[in-house]
């Protein structure tokens, strides 16, 4: 009687070992597929990161250039302020001359 039970136990153990080993092999296979997908995604991320770094450096260069241009414009505007004050003085002199001429012509008439 014990021999029949031992045989059944051995058969059940062998069956469960075979069953679980087949399930485990499927899991490992699935992990390999997922690992390949992760590798592909990492490669895509590396390419994107390189492109982003290149784009960032281009943007940085453009920002520096625009700051230089802004400084150039500021200096030109500041130098133009002096010109404006000079033009205002010239206009003031012309107006004064015109006033004096009109007052002289009125007094002559």
In the chain, where the domains are located: 1-80
Averaged over 86-103, what is the pLDDT? 84
Mean pLDDT for all residues in the chain = 80
State what percent of residues in the chain have pLDDT above 90.
4
Please report, for residues 2, 72, 86, 89, 107, the alpha-carbon distance to residue 76 in angstroms, rounded to integers and kept in the order given. Answer: 108, 6, 16, 20, 46
Averaged over 58-77, what is the pLDDT? 88
Nearest to 69 by CA among 44, 61, 35, 29: 61
Averaged over 21-28, what is the pLDDT? 59
Specify the higher pLDDT residue, 32 or 87.
87
The residue behind tokens 């290149």 is: 54
């Amino acid at each position: 009687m014990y021999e029949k039970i031992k045989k059944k136990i051995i058969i059940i153990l062998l069956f469960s070992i075979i069953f679980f080993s087949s399930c485990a092999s499927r899991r490992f296979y699935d992990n390999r597929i997922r690992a390949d997908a992760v590798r592909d995604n990492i490669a895509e991320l590396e390419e994107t990161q390189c492109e982003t770094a290149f784009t960032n450096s281009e943007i940085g260069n453009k920002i520096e250039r625009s700051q230089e241009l802004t400084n150039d414009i500021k200096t030109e505007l500041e130098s133009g302020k002096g010109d404006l004050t000079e033009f205002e003085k010239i206009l003031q002199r012309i107006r004064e001359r015109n006033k004096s001429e009109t007052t002289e012509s009125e007094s002559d008439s």
